[in-house]
Structure 1
Amino acid sequence: MWTATAISNLGDGVTMVAGPLLLATVSDDPALIAGGAFAAQLPWLLFSLISGAFVDRLDRRRLVVVVNLLRGGVLGGLAVVIASGHVSVPLIYLASFLLGVGETLADTAYGALLPATVAPADLERANARLGATFTIANQFVAKPFGAWLYGVAAAVPFGLDAVSFVVAAVLIAGIAGPPGEAPETSDKSRHKAVPLRMEIAEGLRWLWRHRLLRVLAVAMGVANIAFCAAFAVFILYARERLGLTDVGYGFLLTTFAVGGLAGAGFAARLARRFGTATVLRAGLIVEVGTHLTLALTTNPVLAGGVIVIFGVHTMVWGVLVSAIRQRTVPDQLRGRVGSVFGLLETGGAALGWLLGAVLTQLWAVTTPFWIAAFAMVAVTAAAWRPLAEATPASVRSEPTPRTS
């Protein structure tokens, strides 16, 4: 499973670089180029809750295998069209949308598969290793590699990503034993009798009644809005506020990945040393401090240092929250509850990007950072007491959650 995610992350990173380059080759309209990212995100807004219900209905391992093979087919077909010289913007949008639909299913299923594959006590370490692999493969290696491959031939990066999906599917199919098979496979009649909307509602109700997970989900959603609003025009901030060149901006972006990689190494140890609740609370303070510092400073070195710390926090927070959710949510609900987290994360990001662009046009380039700081102060105050429940005793796997 770890190897499969590493290979697919490398392929995804290559495509993330090659996709905008391909759109820029086909069209010089900035709106059309930006639309490619929206086409890939749109399925999360439309289908994430539905995908979560299907993840709980179906055998998760087989679902990942089938979805990866289909995504490989989409990318393989796109590579052939590119090589033939008949690629167009609508076709690229369609491929991006279909890949996004597959991502809602596969990513949700992966999150539900992990607790069936790894012992509960090892979930932090497992999530941290997956996070580190994503950072290395997707952020460090894939970006320059993808740009180089696109220079060799426009179709090559997409063909490579297609192969990566097929290899990942083969690896997941070869996992020994029965991990990931939904427990309700012995009760398929229940799913046939219950409408999909009722199953989705069941997952939403379960999450809303569990105070700790509800607070974590809402906090992550608001934090994503704040973060993406602040960083929507980060290139303008780097140029106008920090006085950086485009090369300097590129180096500044790498500080996120540096921090994320470090956070993957620290996450489990920090939780053991200080306790999960303390680390999560400290992360909220880091969020506030990051936005305040970036709103005030004009020093690129200070900004880079703060972003490294922020990168550490985001990785640690993600690892710990994933482990809490995987331990706490009953297996038959993991897909649906995980899909709500995915919806809030992606929906918050989409809203944040739009909000940041609007705020910067109305006021100064630092305005989104100030608003993000105040928003995170409110989140920190609201979440502080509920986060005390993030202890080993309160996050154990139980069929009946603690409610409030």
Structure 2
Amino acid sequence: MVSIGEWVAPARLGRDFRWLLASSWTSNVGDGIALAAAPLLIASMTDSPLLVASGAVMQFLPWLLFGLHAGAIADRVDRRLLIMGANAVRALVLVALCTFLLMGVASIWMVLAVAFVYGCAEVFVDTTSSTLLPMMVRKADLGIGNARLQAGFLVANQFGGPPLGAFLFAVGSFWPFAVQAICVALAVVLISRIAVTKPPTDGEERPRTAVHTDIREGIRWLWRNPPVRTLVIVILTFNITWAAPWGVLVLYATEHLGMGPVGYGALTTASAIGGLVATFAFGWLERRFTFATLMRICLSAEVAMHLAFALTTSGVVAFAIMMAFGAYAFVWGTISTTVRQRLVPHELQGRIASVNMVGVFGGLVIGQALGGVIAQLWGLTAPWWFAFVGAAITLVLVWRPITHIAAAKIDGGEDAAH
């Protein structure tokens, strides 16, 4: 019988992977706490919808401003040290925020400034962290490695962290951010234990180039690689269609479905529950189905989800749909990350990951803006119809190319990472 430790982090993935997993999970606990505590703090300081919304904008803006630069820098420096340094900045920013709160001098502008600086450091942490796994494990094990990292995000960031953050905020406004600072600092210690830190090279000394030159090199490689290029475009497109109704989900749930605030909270939690179920099933799915088949199923389920939300008026049905969304979204996220990591050379992992993330957040911004306008003009179900049509058209266009996207060749010569 397999032990829990072996199931969570199989020994074949190596010691470095376990340190990476521990660091990621610990950091996600802190970020999950802030997911609930940060909006509560901002709302306690202002009743301006614009300023409250500005707190959410601070999550996206750093990616659009510095995402590409973070990828280029991650490909030229010691990745472990970059993550440690960026996490140290995050911890110091949180300590400063706690100090302001304890002294009673914190203002909404201070909080927004802290959120922006924290978000900028997070861009470097998240981009660089995504490059470490391909350096640690065999290509054949990238799927299970990504699944375990995604599971930590679901459990800590989406499921366990927010309730803890709300509870700590009720005890005292500085407590959630103090605990978050401890989690981030502990993540620094854990990530310092890994040994694999530098991108592999071919042994030749490369001339120092400007960051913008490295960014252009990464974009040029992406554009000339049809499978990765198509994957990034698919992710951008589906994030636009997904974000359109998600931006008004609270109004859809409370007004159209009549679920109320508690029902809305349950609806958002349902996706985390579905994702947790998928964490247990991913290994079984990976062994029995090709990635191409699973990708088609996930994208088809996305189209069906939009249609179901557009048609239903039942909160119970919506809850079930959201659980299914959480399950297939977990599978899709794990597979798309794995496929990209298998296809991209080690020395370009940071740049291609950053382009992907800029596409993700760019899609969220575009989609939410479109969703707000569409809902204002045609009602709360209209964004779901927009998402259904847009996702369906995209699915038809990429149905055949998915075979080439998913067929990441596992080169025996590169299969042994380390």
On whether the aligned pair clears a TM of 0.5, the verdict is yes
Deviation at 1:398, TM superposition (A): 9.3
Corresponding residue of 2:24 = 5
Letter aligned with residue 202 of structure 1: E
Spell out the pairing of 1:131-280 with structure 2 (5 A cutoff).
Answer: 131-175=150-194, 177=195, 179-184=196-201, 190=207, 192=208, 194-280=209-295
Deviation at 1:138, TM superposition (A): 1.2
Change (3 A) 1:2 1:215: same
Deviation at 1:240, TM superposition (A): 2.5
Write the distance in 1 (CA, Å) between the matches of 2:65 and 2:161: 28
Spell out the pairing of 1:359-398 with structure 2 (5 A cutoff).
Answer: 359-392=374-407, 394=409, 396=411
Gaps of 5+ in 2: 1-19
Change (3 A) 1:160 1:168: same
Q: Check the 8 A contact 1:75/1:158 in 2, yes or no.
A: yes
Verify: 1:312 aligned to 2:327, yes or no. yes
Change (3 A) 1:222 1:392: closer
Change (3 A) 1:76 1:188: farther
Write the distance in 1 (CA, Å) between the matches of 2:146 and 2:270: 21
**CA deviation string 1:126-176 (max 9, x = no partner):** 11111111111112211111011111111111111111111101111112x
Write the distance in 2 (CA, Å) between the matches of 1:188 and 1:156: 48
Corresponding residue of 1:297 = 312
**CA deviation string 1:334-392 (max 9, x = no partner):** 00000011000011111111111111111111000001001011110111111112455
Letter aligned with residue 57 of structure 1: R
TM-score, with length taken from structure 1: 0.94
**CA deviation string 1:312-349 (max 9, x = no partner):** 11110110111111111000000000001100001111
Deviation at 1:183, TM superposition (A): 2.6
Percent of aligned positions with the same letter in both sequences?
A: 39
1:46 to 65, 78, 86: 65
Write the distance in 1 (CA, Å) between the matches of 2:279 and 2:410: 21
Write the distance in 2 (CA, Å) between the matches of 1:16 and 1:227: 20
Write the distance in 1 (CA, Å) between the matches of 2:206 and 2:139: 30
Deviation at 1:188, TM superposition (A): 6.3
Write the distance in 2 (CA, Å) between the matches of 1:386 and 1:395: 19
Change (3 A) 1:44 1:188: farther
Change (3 A) 1:317 1:109: same
Write the distance in 1 (CA, Å) between the matches of 2:343 and 2:325: 27
Corresponding residue of 1:92 = 111
Stretch deviating more after TM superposition (310-319 or 242-251): 242-251
Deviation at 1:189, TM superposition (A): 5.1
Q: Check the 8 A contact 1:51/1:339 in 2, yes or no.
A: yes
Write the distance in 2 (CA, Å) between the matches of 1:213 and 1:107: 20
Change (3 A) 1:94 1:272: same
Q: Check the 8 A contact 2:275/2:330 in 1, yes or no.
A: yes
Write the distance in 1 (CA, Å) between the matches of 2:170 and 2:202: 47
Letter aligned with residue 34 of structure 1: A
Write the distance in 2 (CA, Å) between the matches of 1:356 and 1:394: 39
Write the distance in 1 (CA, Å) between the matches of 2:401 and 2:250: 36
3-state SS, counterpart of residue 106 of structure 2: coil
Corresponding residue of 2:5 = none
Spell out the pairing of 1:9-28 with structure 2 (5 A cutoff).
Answer: 9-28=28-47
Write the distance in 1 (CA, Å) between the matches of 2:201 and 2:103: 46
Aligned length: 395
Corresponding residue of 2:7 = none
Deviation at 1:10, TM superposition (A): 0.6
Write the distance in 2 (CA, Å) between the matches of 1:371 and 1:398: 46
Change (3 A) 1:205 1:348: same
Letter aligned with residue 74 of structure 1: V
**CA deviation string 1:86-122 (max 9, x = no partner):** 1112211111111111111111111100111222211
Letter aligned with residue 68 of structure 2: L
Verify: 1:67 aligned to 2:86, yes or no. yes
Spell out the pairing of 1:328-367 with structure 2 (5 A cutoff).
Answer: 328-367=343-382
